Structure 1
Amino acid sequence: MNGAVDWLNSQAFTVFGQHVIWSDMAGNTIGLIALALGWRRSVWTWPAQFLSGLVLVAAYLSAHLSGGVGKQLLVIVVALWGWRQWTRGRRRAQDGSVAVRFASWKERGLLAAGTAAGTLALGGLFLAVPSLSWNPWPDAYIFVGTLAAMVAQARGLVEFWFAWLLVDVVGVPLAFHSGLAFSGLVYVIYLALVLWGLRDWWLRSRATVALEGAPA
């Protein structure tokens, strides 16, 4: 087991003076695939997120980012829950994919309040126990923001994409600063996919509303 982890955390190549390790590259490549599957509203986005989380645990361990490790463990758990949500009880569009919608104002308020409260609580914990994180507030923000995004995705909410945008704002510079160059580069690609996915889910949610409001 240790041999496999050591290989995953070995250097793959160097680009622009930044060392890229296998776990960072493989985990984030799978993450990109998961995001693309999410844009397509395919249930396979969840097993892809699960696998990405498993591989990225090794990457964050190598960078000594406890918050990042915690985030990926959270991704693994929520991916299993989201997988179940999308295979049971989710509304379906005419093409068989998961139907999407905008959140209600109550749901938005709960997501925002939960993210703020969770970030404050977790950031406070990281400050009180410095060994848990070298970057308390960014780690807490990314950890809780990721949870909010995945919960919104599991519920088929368009706001899922907005949550990922807010996570990327902090995730990109933190990844480069921590020596995870491939993560930083992938986050930039994530940004393009998130904007594309946001547009697609936005249009589909409006089409669903129009269809439901049409006379029988």
Structure 2
Amino acid sequence: MIEFLFSQYKDYPNYLIVLELIAVGFGIISVLFAKKNNILVYPTGLVSTLIFVYILLEFQLYGDLIINIYYSIMSILGWYLWSRTKNGADEFPISMMTKKDFTISLLIFVVTLLFVVFVYLFFNKFTDWTAYVDALTTGLFFVGMWLMAKRKVENWILWIVADVISVPLYFHKGLTFSSLQFSIFTILAILGYLEWKKLLHKPI
């Protein structure tokens, strides 16, 4: 079983394995902070995403590379939005999506999907089924990250769907630790959704 899960790492440089482990660790810590509605989700997440930018560039996984560059930018935006207060209360408290949020989310998804398809076509990387799935998950993750920055409960639903898809996807790509990370993310996203629903209805 161990051989099946981790055999692909035998040909990887040790520093890439260490970097992936660090990125996975900080990624899990970040989601735990997100679950608790704690602003530390962003600085810890930044450590993870910036490391993954480097790793994914090495593996030429351009869709995932774009995701992590976007994550890094959105982490800075989310960090800023979550730190803002008005009259002593959060300016962007936990809330449900509005029609405007849905429209913007749909627009982000479509634009992201088209952009990733363009990138894969440009680099002639539509050679495997993973490219199509990668384009889909990129769109889902982009919308999920934007909704998290806006503290919308529905962000967790998108994380759950995208994380479930990413488990076999990353394993197939040869990144077993990342695949295990997405397994953990799926569980944490379900718990995060339930936690935020409770916080949404909690009396102020």
Task: Give the TM-score category using the shorter length.
Answer: 0.7 to 0.9
2:137–2:165 CA contact under 8 A, matched in 1: yes
Root-mean-square deviation over aligned CA pairs: 2.8
Q: Does 1:103 align with 2:97?
A: yes
- Residue 41 of structure 1 aligns to a residue whose secondary structure is coil
* TM superposition shift of 1:19: 4.2
1:92–1:99 CA contact under 8 A, matched in 2: no
Aligned residue in 1 for 2:77: 81
**Structure 2 runs not aligned, ≥5 long:** 10-16
CA distance in 2, matches of 1:101, 1:92: 18
* TM superposition shift of 1:121: 4.1
Q: Which amino acid aligns with 1:79?
A: S
Q: Does 1:55 align with 2:44?
A: no
Which of 197, 201, 207 is residue 202 of structure 2 equivalent to? Answer: 207
* TM superposition shift of 1:176: 0.2
CA distance in 2, matches of 1:84, 1:78: 10
- Residue 200 of structure 1 aligns to a residue whose secondary structure is helix
Aligned residue in 2 for 1:18: 7
CA distance in 1, matches of 2:83, 2:70: 20
CA distance in 2, matches of 1:23, 1:15: 21
CA distance in 2, matches of 1:142, 1:164: 9
Aligned residue in 1 for 2:27: 31
Q: Which amino acid aligns with 2:52?
A: L
Question: How many residues are treated as equivalent by the alignment?
Answer: 195
CA distance in 1, matches of 2:70, 2:150: 17
**Structure 1 runs not aligned, ≥5 long:** 1-12, 212-216
Q: Does 1:171 align with 2:160?
A: no
* TM superposition shift of 1:145: 1.9
Q: TM-score, normalised by structure 1?
A: 0.78
- Residue 60 of structure 2 aligns to a residue whose secondary structure is coil
Q: Which amino acid aligns with 2:95?
A: R
TM-aligned CA distance change 1:109 to 1:18, over 3 Å: farther
Which of 150, 153, 167 is residue 155 of structure 1 equivalent to? Answer: 150
